Each structure stands twice: as C-alpha cells, then as structure tokens.
Homo-oligomer: A and B are copies of this chain.
Amino acid sequence: MSEAVSPLASPFPALPAIAGVTPRIVRAGYKDWGRCDLTYVELIEGTAVAGVFTRNVCCSSEVELGRQNVKQGKARALVVNAGNSNAFTGYRGREAVEQIMEQVADHLGCGREEVFVSSTGVIGVPLPKDKARAGVEAALTAHPCGWEDAARTIGTTDTFPKGATASAMIGDVKVHFSAIIKGSGMIAPDMATMLGYVFTDAAVDPAFLQQCLSASADATFNCITVDSDTSTSDTVLAFATGAAGNAPLVSFESAGADAFAAALQSVCRELAHLVVKDGEGAQKFIEVAVTGAVSDASARKVGLAIANSPLVKTAIAGEDANWGRVVMAVGKAGEPADRDRLSIGFGGVWAAKDGQPLADYDEAPVAAHLKGREVRISVDLGLGQGRATVWTCDLTHGYISINADYRS
C-alpha cells in the first residue's frame, strides 16, 4: 500500500466469514517490498464460479486460462500473485500459471481447471516459478486470515484496502457476500489491474451465477473509468459455495433470485466505486447521470465520453462548473444527440437547458456543490428514454505525478 492514502478512502468494512471459503496469505517475495504478496483462497467442493474478464486483446495467460476454465463453472481455489503481472511474457509466463494450477490441484485432489490464478504487478517479466512454487507450498498450510489482510495482499499501488458486503434472503435462508477488490488505474511498473473477488455462501447454479455477474458488471465495473485505459489482466470472479443450504438458484424463476441478484449488484457497485475512489490522484468522486438518450447503451457511451474527457475531469478538479466541456464531450461521443435539446446540470441544478445557458442560472449552489468530494453531473439529451450512470474521478496533478514523475 502506498503511504499517501486517497482523500476519498473509507475504513475497511466488517466483512463476515463465508462458510466454505478459507483465505490465507503468505510472502512469495515476487517483489522486495516486505509484505505478503500471495493470496490463496480455498473453496469447498461444489463451489460454483462465474467470471468477467478484460476485453483488452493483449491479455495475460491468467486471463486466457481463467476465461476458458470458468466455462465449466466449478472452483476449488483462487491464487492471486501481487508484484508481477506476468503479462507479455510469452510461453514462459503461461508455464508459471500452469504450474500453480497443477500444484494446487494436486494438493486438493481436484481438476486443474478448478484452480483460478490472477497476477498483478510489473509486466514483461515471467512470474518466477521457484518463488511461486515455494509461496503456494507455504500458502496451502498457512493459518487462515481475515478479509482485510487478503484485500491488502492482493493490492499493489492501492492506497487503501477495499471490501464490500451484503446479504439477501433466499426463502428463509440468509445468504452472505464478502468481496474484495484491488485497482487504482493502470500504472507502471505495477499495472494496477482491477482484480475483484466476490464470495457468497449461497447455492447458485454456475450458469445463473454467470448471468447475474455479467449483468452486474455491465452496470458497475463497465461503468467506471479512471483514465480510459484498460488493463491486460482485469478480472472479476464470483464464487458461490452453497454452504448456506438454500434451495439452489437456477434462474430468475427461483424464489429469492431477485434478492440475490440485487445484493450481488450492490456489492459490485460498491467495489467499483472503491476503485474509482482510489483513482490515481483522485480528489473528487464524479457521478455522471445521462438521461433522455435513444437507448441505455447510447446513454452509457455518452456518459463514458464525458467521464473520459480530460477537459471535463480537469474542470471538476478545478471546481469549475464548465458545462461547455460537457457539451463538447457529448458531441464527440458519436451517439445521437441534438445540440438544441441538450440540458446539463451540476448537483441537481440545471446550467443549460435545450441547448442554451439558462437566463436565471444561479451558479452559487453549483459552486458550493463542486467544492465537495462527490460531484454529480446530469445530462439530458431530450431524445428518448435511454439512461445510464457512470462514475469516474477528477484528473489532477496527482495523476501526472504518479505516472510521469517516475523513471524506470
């Protein structure tokens, strides 16, 4: 963890233990940083798994194998290496991942495809097999740890550990979620990949778990941006042990499925927000709500064009209610928009309506809103019913300092 904690950080929440899930951490020594860097999570037999992965074409072997293995829906273990992303390392990197899968599978007596591996950190250097082997060996029998320790151990350039929790009633059975995530942009030498893991004791069919996770990711992880750059290793996995003993969820027809899906989405949203709040150099958390688009997908594209605009992000950093930059970002999104129907507001106050600045626009409440840590931008396109909300952070000198004031 870095020493300068994000001003948007919050204390680590109280995450419950999840029946059937045993996290452990050890020091594999991938990097000389005097902390644990290998997280091993054992899962009881029968655990269902679902996953969403980066769309970056130049993805790591971990992502390739995970994407392939998640299809069979079963998991017995998760291994997360911090300090080396193992990306862009060719066949040698792939061999290291396969070695870890084999080692854990041999220990648990399960299939290799039930062992999921993630790595985050320096790129272009194959994960050292000897360190991985010794680290995993130690992890298999290490004492179990708490979620905050696990959250710290999967982190690299994160400035605070990130976790979220929720519960839901499935019939008369209460199921629990504990989830951790790391990520704060994409920086080198550590590629600050987003790696998120959700654990629940609910019994869920893998296909339905995948359906819920994909839908949740679309509305959460795919609606955040720090700097428009996507990592080669981004991964979110959901594990459902079934230990709660509820009647298994197989579709939205199952009793309690809606509550389960809603709880999963709320956990994912919280994790996504935490990543933005640890965005490199972030001083403000920005919500962009787009309404009146021709479709939800169109609204999201417009929202992301705004959230990715360096000029919008620097304006917010400067506490400047610069709706002109928002107009520009709407226009460059390439989605249907009509300048003369466009309305833009900050913190619930409209600055421009129907393509023109409001004559009676009172900037005082907007200026006060922009001085806060959380800023809300509203855009109404005036065309249809499509809507989306996306989240980002401001672009500050801190981002430049972290990413440019550095020499390898």
Give residues in A with beta carbon < 8 Å to B. 55-59, 87-90, 123-125, 185-189, 191, 227-232, 308-311, 314-315, 317-325, 327-340, 342, 352, 354-357, 394-397, 399-401, 403-408
Q: What are the residues of chain B within 8 A of A227 when measuring CB–CB?
A: 310-311
Query: What is the CB-to-nearest-CB distance from A240 to chain B, in angstroms, rounded to a whole number?
Result: 30
B-chain residues with CB within 8 Å of residue A327 when the two chains form the complex: 58, 87-88, 123, 232
CA distance A191 to B328 in the complex (A): 9
| Neighbour of A320 across the interface among B308, B311, B315, B407, CB < 8 A | B407
Nearest B-chain residue to A340, judged by Cβ? B90
Query: B56 to A357, Cβ gap below 8 A?
Result: no
Q: Is B187's CB under 8 angstroms from A332's CB?
A: no
Q: Are A337 and B58 in contact (CB under 8 A)?
A: yes
Is the CB–CB distance between A314 and B229 below 8 Å? no
Interface of A, secondary structure class, is loop
Q: Known: A400-B317, A404-B395. Is A324-B191 also a contact (CB below 8 A)?
A: yes
Roughly how many angstroms separate A323 CA and B124 CA in the complex, as a whole number?
9
Q: Are A400 and B403 in contact (CB under 8 A)?
A: no
C-alpha gap A268/B350 in the complex (Å): 41
Supply 23 A–B pairs (Cβ within 8 Å), ascending by A.
A56-B328, A58-B330, A87-B324, A88-B327, A88-B355, A88-B357, A90-B356, A188-B324, A191-B324, A227-B311, A228-B310, A229-B309, A229-B329, A314-B400, A314-B404, A317-B400, A320-B406, A320-B408, A395-B404, A396-B400, A396-B404, A397-B397, A399-B400
State the CA gap A333–B228 with chains docked (Å): 11
B58 near A188: Cβ-Cβ < 8 Å: no
Minimum CB–CB distance from A334 to chain B (whole Å) comes to 8
Residues of chain B with a CB closer than 8 A to A323's CB: 124
Closest to A93 in B: B356
Chain B: minimal CB distance from A186 (Å): 6
Q: A58 contacts which chain B residues (CB < 8 A)?
A: 327-328, 330-331, 337, 339, 342
Q: Which residues of B contact A396 (CB under 8 A)?
A: 400, 404
